[in-house]
Amino acid sequence: MRFCLWMAVFALLSGCSVPSEQPVETKAAKPATRPSDESHRFPSQDRVKVEIVDDHLLGKDFLPGGNLAEYARGGKTHHLFLIETGSPQAAALLMNDHQKTLSNAKFIAHMGGYFGMEGEQPVYIFAKGKWLAGLVGLPQEEADLVAREFAARL
């Protein structure tokens, strides 16, 4: 009787094997939401194109995706960009991160933004509500006029 009991226990245990490699559960990467097309917010005069950038707008690791418009006037080009964030606080934090990359950054009180240089390029950034917006490639005086018109569309 004991022999039969031991044989039954042995048979049960031999049927239960532990695999040497546990299957690894892979979590699918959270699909990033594509920024919405906000081309209607950009001034149409001198506009060449508007493109949607999925991530790292302007090649900045800290910036999410957004809309980037190219303009050409008098043989010169410049860009306007627009990023929709979840809140005014998020837009302000992104602006603060971007401001840190600018050399000789000056606070523009009437816009609540900054103007400075990134390498050879002048950059003007501002936050309005849930939006982070800016211009690349225009001197401050010209950028200020364009920024005011752009801000009115947000």
Residue 131 tokens read as 């939006």
Residues 6+ apart with CB under 8 A from 90: 130
Closest CA to 127 of 84, 92, 80: 92
Query: Over the stretch 137-154, which tens digit does the pLDDT of each residue have?
Result: 999 999 999 999 999 999
In the predicted model, what is the mean pLDDT of residues 105-129? 97
Show me where the domains of the chain are located.
Answer: 50-152
Query: Over the stretch 65-114, which tens digit does the pLDDT of each residue have?
Result: 999 999 999 999 999 999 999 999 999 999 999 999 999 999 999 999 99
Determine phi and psi for 101, rounding to 5 degrees. -85, -10
CA dist., res. 59 & res. 119, Å (int): 14
Own/partner contacts of 115-120, CB < 8 Å, gap of 24 or more, are 115/140, 115/143, 115/144
In the predicted model, what is the mean pLDDT of residues 3-26? 54
In this prediction, residue 21 carries a pLDDT of 55
Domain topology for 50-152:
Protein Transport Mog1p; Chain A (3.40.1000)
Q: Are the CB atoms for 41 and 30 separated by under 8 Å?
A: no
Q: What one-character DSSP code corresponds to residue 81?
A: E
Q: Are the CB atoms for 133 and 82 separated by under 8 Å?
A: yes
Query: Over the stretch 24-64, which tens digit does the pLDDT of each residue have?
Result: 544 444 446 899 999 999 999 999 999 999 999 999 999 99
